[in-house]
Amino acid sequence: MDQDAEIQRAVDLQERSYRLLQWLGEAVRRGFIRSEDAHAFTADLGSAAAWIRRHRSDLPADAQPTADDLEAFCRLFVGGLQDSLYLADDAAPSPPANNRRCGCRQCRYWQAPVVRARHLRDGDRRRADRCMRASLDEFALSHERVLEDGQVAALMREIAVREALALHAYAEVLLQRVRGAGSAVGVPLALWRRFAWTETGTAKRGFRLQAAAIHAARQLLAQRIVAIAPPL
């Protein structure tokens, strides 16, 4: 499988795994699945795979993998809950339908999401910085270039380049996860927010990860690296 096809597969599996997490969160909220059971079958790859096989007919069609992709899917599904998201233990069941528009404290509690993003720490951001630098150096070498610190600093002053590099680094982490390698806790989420969020710290409305955007990011990085650094 060539890299473009591998990236497309990884992006599709990640989208499906996130849909399953959303479905799982809603099932916990409705009381269809107990919170402790959800934690149990998302604890590791084996438990997740066994649960998906057992309940495949109950899962949304757009939130489950093919038999051939089950293992890679579970790596993303479980991995996302280990390094970026978590199932909230304090989630309450849904309120009665006629109370869902109420703005009281209890109803806000009912409406809090079950699947939540982890809080980023300074260490997560520093690890993401190192991940981006390592990805940049490796990408430059693949184009027969070596970047000096000053050249890296010049590239990082460009917003478009910073976002492209974060997206490229995130794609590399995604591919590593599909292949069976892990990532440091917080790094995928820290990278995600560098291209899926605005500079002011809010999520970009309607943003979805797409293989075409990753390809465009790699093209931009290649153009800027070739322009700024001489060949080896």
Domain C-terminal end among 70, 95, 117? 117
> What long-range pairs does 110-117 form, CB within 8 A, spacing at least 24?
112/88, 113/25, 113/88, 114/24, 114/25, 114/26, 114/28, 114/29, 114/87, 114/88, 115/21, 115/22, 115/24, 115/25, 115/85, 115/86, 115/87, 115/88, 116/85, 116/86, 116/88, 117/84, 117/85, 117/189
Q: With bands split at pLDDT 50, 70 and 90, how would you rate the model's confidence at 89?
A: low
- Same domain as 140, residue 48: no
Q: What is the Cα Rg of the chain in Å?
A: 20
- Same domain as 102, residue 139: no
Domain C-terminal end among 88, 117, 146? 117
- Same domain as 129, residue 87: no
pLDDT at residue 30 is higher than 50:
yes
- Same domain as 88, residue 58: yes
197: which 2 tokens? 């969020």
| pLDDT on residue 94 | 47
CA atoms within 13 A on the CB side of 128: 27
- Same domain as 152, residue 105: no
| pLDDT on residue 75 | 92
- Same domain as 78, residue 32: yes
Domain C-terminal end among 85, 117, 149? 117
- Same domain as 101, residue 172: no
pLDDT at residue 157 is higher than 90:
yes
Helix, strand, coil percentages, rounded to 5, for the chain: 65, 5, 30
How far does CA 54 lie from the centroid of its chain?
A: 26
Degrees to nearest 5, angle at CA 20 with 16 and 25? 150
- Same domain as 88, residue 129: no
Which residue is associated with the tokens 């109420």? 102
CA distance 219 to 232: 20
- Same domain as 109, residue 10: yes
CA distance 188 to 181: 13
| pLDDT on residue 182 | 75
68: which 2 tokens? 């051939």
- Same domain as 107, residue 154: no
Domain housing 207 = 122-228
- Same domain as 96, residue 130: no
Q: For 9-33, what is the mean pLDDT?
A: 90
pLDDT at residue 98 is higher than 70:
no
Question: Mapping DSSP to helix (H, G, I), strand (E, B) and coil, where does residue 85 land?
Answer: strand
- Same domain as 154, residue 216: yes
Reported pTM: 0.86
Give the percent of the chain with pLDDT over 90: 58
Instruction: Name the domain count of the chain.
Output: 2
